[in-house]
Structure 1
Amino acid sequence: MSEMAEMAECIARVSTSGVPMIRSSRVQDLPDYNGPIGLSGYAGCGKTEAAGFIEQAYGYKRQHIAEPLRRMLASLLRDYGYSERNIERWLVGEWKDGILIPELGVTSRHLQITLGTEWGRVQVGSDIWAKLWRIQAEVGRAFDGKGRLNDSVRFPNEEASVQQAKGFTILITRPGKGPAAFKWRRVGPLLYRWFGCMWGVHDSERVDRLHPDYVVVNDGTIDELHAKIAQVVRKAKAGLASASLRG
């Protein structure tokens, strides 16, 4: 596509969506900087879509902070005799939320949240996953030169691990999407639905405790979400690259 054609396409998209025009979202147009990026937001807000776009457009590699605990749970489910296909369905697929694991009587999401929070963060140490993610991100980038992307930032210290490594974080919101896990199964959802109260929301869902560098409202099409993410990434990477040169 020629530059004039690309510009015309951008103008046409802006005229219907109201999204600020971005000349190009290709990695070649960005400064030579690949610090970490963190995405946060409720389930269904668009984090996975945004992460896929960042990987494709900017050469980043997704490194989910829950990967270590998923490997732990995969080992448990193998010992119960489940096939690799069904383990994948429970841990990252269509069975994650709605299908109970028969022998355990809970969903995979419940297992992942409680293993990560009640066991890992509470019983072991609050930095257990954040430290591991940062180590793996640094090793991975040194190995292949690709910046790492955490598409599930849930706690302030996880957010800080990205920001302190000269990266930035994006909170994605979407109308109608809210917490998926609560401390009190009946009271928690009611308090949130009626009053927007976060007291009964599980700690892993408390996005109100985060201090993201940018907020993106995902209230349109997939193309509009991509355009908003591209605008944020371009601005953030340019600013951080300039800061690195000055520092």
Structure 2
Amino acid sequence: MTVIGLSGFAQSGKTTAALYLEKKYGVRRKHIAEPLRAMLAVLLKANGMSSEMITRYLEGDLKEQVIPCLSVTSRYAQITLGTEWGRNLINPDLWANTWGVGIGEDESVMNDSVRFPNEEAPIKDAGGFTILIKRPGTKPAKFKWGWIGAKLYDWFGALWGAHDSERTDRLQPDYIIHNDASVEQLYLDIDAAIRDWEEHGRSSAPKNVQFGLATMALSRI
């Protein structure tokens, strides 16, 4: 059984990494947003949208486009449904607990969009590890302080004004991959992280083992 969590901003390489882990290591993607998409799909269907268009808006090429009947993008709808409604109004552990339901005892799974520390917990409790992927040029998808938060990030790299679901600085990843080179290098870094985990595990491996930075070196800090 292998349990892995991936985190990082949109376009950082999480999906590319997840597809690689799925293909090479047989780790099934169990996206934590699956219930959110299912809830939104019901809403969009009630508004007369076809199944094909629902899929395009929720998971496909229209994910960053405004949904006419909602007047917001799919990404915005999922972020606020997950955080402002689910976490803040219902239960902070709602999505983390839901994600852990239905995982087979010997099944290898991954959450390819870890956003909060309590979403790391079920992964680590199951003996798994987490990887934060950083890519130059990517940034939070939503800021709670509007343009002020965006400017703080652009000028200083500060995440104080970012939406809570974008606060990667609050996470405690076991590995950080700087996705600043080729896709092939990203794959090599993922392989290196898995080898390191198999050799060391959490008992002896410090957090924030870093790969990348346009090199093939592994740096323990």
**Fold match (TM-score > 0.5):** yes
- Number of equivalences: 204
Q: CA-to-partner distance for each residue in 1:118-143, whole Å, 9 max, x for gaps?
A: 0000000110000111123x2xx34x
From 214, 221, 230, give the equivalent of 2:182: 221
How far 1:112 moved relative to its partner? 0.2
Out of 155, 165, 179, the position equivalent to 1:194 is: 155
Gaps of 5+ in 1: 1-33
Residue 75 of structure 2 corresponds to residue 118 of structure 1: no
One-letter amino acid matched to 1:112: Q
Does 1 or 2 have the higher relative contact order (CA < 8 Å, sep 6+)?
1
**Aligned residue identity for 2:167:** R
**Contact 1:170–1:216 (CA under 8 A) maintained in structure 2:** yes
Query: In the alignment, residue 48 of structure 2 is paired with which amino acid?
Result: G
The percentage of counterpart residues that share the same residue type is: 52
Residue 131 of structure 1 corresponds to which residue in structure 2? Answer: 97
- Secondary structure in 2 aligned to 1:112? helix
Corresponding residue to 1:96 among 60, 63, 66: 63
What secondary structure, in the 3-state scheme, does the structure 2 residue paired with 1:126 have?
A: coil
| 1:153 aligned to which of 114, 121, 127 | 114
Q: Is the 8 A contact 1:40 1:152 kept in 2?
A: yes
Partner of 1:45: 12
Distance in 2, matches of 1:129 and 1:114, equals 13
What amino acid does structure 2 have at the position aligned with 1:73?
Answer: L
Aligned 1:11-50 pairs, distance under 5 A = 34-50=1-17
Letter in 2 for 1:206: R
What secondary structure is seen at the aligned counterpart in 2 of 1:192?
Answer: helix
Residue aligning to 1:63: 30
Shift of the alpha carbon at 1:241? 9.9
Q: Offset at 1:236?
A: 1.0
Which whole-Å CA distance do the structure 1 matches of 2:31 and 2:199 have between them?
Answer: 25
Structure 1: distance between partners of 2:202 and 2:123 = 15
Cα deviation for residue 161 of structure 1 reads: 1.5
Instruction: Indicate if the aligned counterparts of 1:51 and 1:62 stay in contact, CA closer than 8 A.
Output: yes
What is the one-letter code of the residue matched to 2:18? A
Q: How many Å apart are 1:195 and its aligned residue?
A: 2.1
* Distance in structure 1 (CA, Å) of the matches to 2:26 and 2:34: 20
> Which of the pair is proportionally richer in helix?
1
Return the index of the structure with the highest Cα Rg. 1
The equivalent residue for 1:105 is 71
Tell whether the 8 Å contact from 1:59 to 1:146 is kept in structure 2 after alignment.
Answer: no
Distance 2:42 2:154 in 1: 37
Q: Measure, in 2, the Cα distance between the counterparts of 1:154 and 1:242.
A: 24
Does the Cα contact within 8 Å between 2:4 and 2:111 map onto a contact in 1? yes
Once the two structures are TM-superposed, the CA of residue 235 in structure 1 deviates from its matched residue by: 1.7
Structure with bigger strand share is 2
Provide the secondary structure at the position in 1 that maps to 2:53.
helix
| C-alpha distance in 1 between matches for 2:17 and 2:197 | 15
* Structure 2 residue identity aligned to 1:124: I
Using the TM superposition, give the Cα deviation of residue 211 of structure 1 relative to its aligned residue in structure 2, in angstroms.
0.4
Q: 4+ runs of 1 displaced by more than 6 Å?
A: none
The gaps in structure 2 that reach 5 residues or longer are 205-221
> SS at the partner of 1:212?
coil
1:177 lines up with 2:138 in the alignment: yes
Aligned twin of 2:208: none
How many Å separate the matches in 2 of 1:110 and 1:45? 18
Instruction: State the 1:41 CA deviation.
Output: 0.5
1:234 to 195, 200, 203: 195
* Residue in structure 1 matched with residue 209 of structure 2 by the alignment: none
1:39, 1:47 within 8 Å by CA — same for their partners in 2?
Answer: yes
